Structure 1
Amino acid sequence: MSFLEFLLLLLVAYYVIYVLLWIVLDCNVALWFKSKFGVSLSSMRGQVVWITGASSGIGRSLALSLARHGVRLVLSARRVEQLEVVQEECLAAARGLLATKDVLILPMDMLQLQRHESNLFTVLNHFDRLDVLVNNAGRSQRASWTDIEIEVDRELFELDVFSVVHLTRLVVRYFIEQNGGRGHVAATSSIAGFGPVPFSATYCAAKHALNAYLLSLKLEMRKLDVTIFAPGPIATDFLQEAFTGEQGAKYGQSTANQKRMTADRCGELFAVALANKMDLTWCGLFPVNLLAYCARNPTLTKILGQFMTEQTLNKIREGKL
């Protein structure tokens, strides 16, 4: 075997192994590698992490994952009663690493932009610092493209994009003033943010826009760490509150008995991405993870489009395949 033939064999073996990993793993390869051999979550002990949308789902699970390693938390959402439950769960998970004062409950409606600055001051007055902002609050959508009222487009963008950008700008300005631009901002995006799916046009567009905002921020501020975490279908109550095509309506469907990653696993992977300051990561059960890789390649996306109907893609997205 010649040297060139050997190199070709290695190249083929590399891609075969990589494709197998796409099929076997529940996240992208880099994130899986960091979860096994990367920076430990314990490296974040003592840091202050502000999580919006922390009362349930991915936000709650992320908070618990961080609390287990002594990360101080700010929990924000509209539902105060549920935040109090999450606070108690975090203190129990910390097993003595955190005191009550280390898990701050900060009730917050992301759409009340005029209160964002005062909320940030509350965090800084309590902890005297902020290390990581995690923009997790948001809503999904289920609707046919032609049935979506323009008011729904505006409302979804206000929540999933503009409120996130507004709060992030305030925090980034704090990082610039206090740390010379060093800091960490993160957001819960979606695989739909780089691989569009059917029957969620506004949501896909919003997540694409959010990704573009954050990637542009990273280009302008090289000292700043920016993490975009993009889950696939997750077993939460996300669809209960999802937008439809009609203003004021909610989808109101359950994810029970669907093939979805658990919120706990998702939160754990999100925490790994934060600890390792990763830029773009994603997670999802097969075949979602495989499709996420394909969505990053225009040629593969075009090939898949020839074999998969919108109904098939929607079944995969809803955890029914």
Structure 2
Amino acid sequence: MSWELLLWLLALCALLALVVQLLRFLRADGDLTLLWAEWQGRRPEWELTDMVVWVTGASSGIGEELACQLSKLGVSLVLSARRVQELERVKTRCLENGNLKEKDILVLPLDLTDRSSHEAATKVVLQEFGKIDILVNNAGRSQHSLCMDTSLDVFKELIELNYLGTVSLTMCVLPHMIERKQGKIVTVNSLLGILSAPLSSGYCASKHALRGFFNCLRAELAAYPGIVVSNICPGPVQSNIVKNSLTEEVQKTVGGDTVQSHKMATSRCVRLMLISMANDLKEVWISDHPFLLITYFWQYMPTWAWWLTNKLGKRRIENFKNGLDADISYFKTWKTKHD
């Protein structure tokens, strides 16, 4: 075989690989590293058994679904949120649908904004189970309002809950993990912790702060390779996050019923989260298009990203002012073309 023919074959293989990756990306609902781990990586059913997992924000949405899927893997669960009645409901669901017994689940009410309670809560978990293998920082709230119409108290509330509350609890759990030289700190961030979108200025700020903090923490823990720090960045997922979002004032939420059909199923999002945890991925993006595509633009082609964000952002604001779901119009357009 001549060198010229060999080079042509190599070029053809490279082109074929590029086409395959492009086709995979068009159908992707997560970043390509995550989807590779789903295909060829370690299974949650192998890696996460017999662990103690503490989930905050476990009373609904992603936190509830995560607790239910974890309950099938043979872990010990700590369920935290402010609403005790809802936590008990989630516990019952885990016991009915999972492989756990009563002693395997601890309901631990927790208000992330009450930072003085975090150390005591951590001690309760350690007294109950003797260790904390995985801390899942999932609790938080979103925001749906124009920046100029929003009270400063809303921004303060979002920083107190989403950022400072999460950092405080992590700092209480971290000494235990350092002592054991192992553990996983998993933070449910958002694609809005990478990019920015109109109507979410306070939420974006809190999530950008979280990403910066945990990326820095990961670097500082380089001497402890057994401690894994992961940022999970979902896009729109079926939950009550929009319904419970703050608006112009702290006492006012969006409320009402929100359209969910264009969003990713919570069960799929959580499955990809478990895969990222099993494979110790440092950051993952979980979303359907067009948000996944926009995130790649923000990461690798920011000039194009600004142009695209401004274009879509105008429609988002128009939808909001007309009382419509901010994102549904271009999701419908994308899904029609995609299908």
The answer, yes or no, to whether TM exceeds 0.5 is yes
Q: Distance in 1 between matches of 2:263 and 2:229?
A: 26
Q: Is the 8 A contact 1:22 1:289 kept in 2?
A: no
Residue pair 1:239, 1:254 contacting (<8 A) in 2 also? no
Whether the 8 Å contact between 1:23 and 1:289 is mirrored in structure 2 is: no
Which stretch of the first structure deviates more once superposed, 226-235 or 247-256?
247-256
State the match for 1:83 in structure 2.
87
Asked if 2 retains the 8 angstrom alpha-carbon contact of 1:233 and 1:317, the reply is no
Q: Does 1:92 align with 2:93?
A: no
Secondary structure of 1:282 counterpart: strand
C-alpha separation in 2, matches of 1:277 and 1:253 = 38
Q: CA RMSD in A?
A: 2.0
**2:78 maps to 1:49:** no
The counterpart of 2:151, out of the listed 149, 152, 158, is: 149
Q: What are the ranges of 5 or more consecutive residues in structure 2 without an aligned counterpart?
A: 320-324, 332-339
In 1, the alpha carbon distance for the partners of 2:185 and 2:100 equals 23
Query: What residue is the counterpart of 1:62 in the other structure?
Result: 66
Matched letter for residue 215 of structure 2 = L
Aligned sequence identity (%): 34
1:134 paired residue among 133, 136, 140: 136
**How far is the alpha carbon of 1:67 from its aligned partner?**
1.1
Deviates more, 1:248-257 or 1:124-133: 248-257
Q: C-alpha displacement at 1:302, in angstroms?
A: 4.1
Higher relative contact order (CA 8 A, sep 6+): 1
**Whole-angstrom distance in 1 between the partners of 2:295 and 2:97:** 32
Structure-2 residue corresponding to 1:264: 267
Cα displacement (A) at 1:149:
1.8
Which of 285, 291, 294 matches 1:291? 294
Determine helix, strand or coil for the equivalent of 1:227: strand
Supply the AA of the counterpart residue of 2:327: E
Deviation by residue 1:215-270 (Cα, 9 ceiling, x = unmatched)? 00000002220111111111111112111132321121433354001111111111
Report if aligned partners of 1:191, 1:230 keep a CA contact under 8 Å in 2: yes
1:225 to 228, 231, 242: 228
Query: Match of 2:243, SS?
Result: helix
Contact 2:57 2:80 in 1 (8 A): yes
What amino acid does structure 2 have at the position aligned with 1:186? V
Matched ranges for 1:1-321 at <5 A = 6-42=9-45, 43-94=47-98, 97-177=99-179, 179-180=180-181, 182-222=182-222, 223=225, 224-297=227-300, 298-302=302-306, 304-305=308-309, 308-312=311-315, 318-320=327-329, 321=331
Deviation at 1:7, TM superposition (A): 4.6
* Cα 1:18–1:119 shift into 2, 3 Å: same
TM-score of the pair, normalised by structure 1? 0.92
Q: Which has the larger radius of gyration?
A: 2
Separation (CA, whole Å) in 1 of partners of 2:33 and 2:229: 16
Query: Does the CA-based 8 Å contact 2:197-2:309 persist in structure 1?
Result: no
Counterpart of 2:52, as a letter, is: V
Give the alignment's TM-score, normalised by structure 2: 0.87
1:159-210 alpha-carbon deviations (Å, 9 max, x no partner): 0000000110111112123x13x21101110001101111101111111110
5+ unaligned residues in a row in structure 1: which ranges?
A: none
Paired residue type of 1:143: S
Could you tell me how far 1:304 is from its partner in structure 2?
A: 2.9
Query: Structure 1 pair 122/249, CA: closer, same or farther in 2 (3 Å)?
Result: same
Q: Matches of 1:18 and 1:165 in 2, distance apart?
A: 37
- When residues 24 and 317 of structure 1 are mapped into structure 2, their CA distance, relative to the original with a 3 A threshold, is farther
Compared CA separation, residues 257 and 54, structure 1 to 2 (3 A)? closer
> Which has the larger displacement, 50-59 or 3-12?
3-12
Tell me how far apart the structure 1 counterparts of residues 29 and 230 of structure 2 sit (CA, whole Å): 18
**Matches of 2:147 and 2:11 in 1, distance apart?**
45
- Deviation of 1:295 after TM superposition, in Å, equals 2.1
Residues 159/85 of structure 1: CA separation in 2 closer, same or farther (3 Å cut): same
**Bigger shift: residues 205-214 or 81-90:** 81-90
Q: Secondary structure at the match of 1:69?
A: coil
- 1:317/1:45 Cα in 2 relative to 1: closer, same or farther (>3 Å)? farther
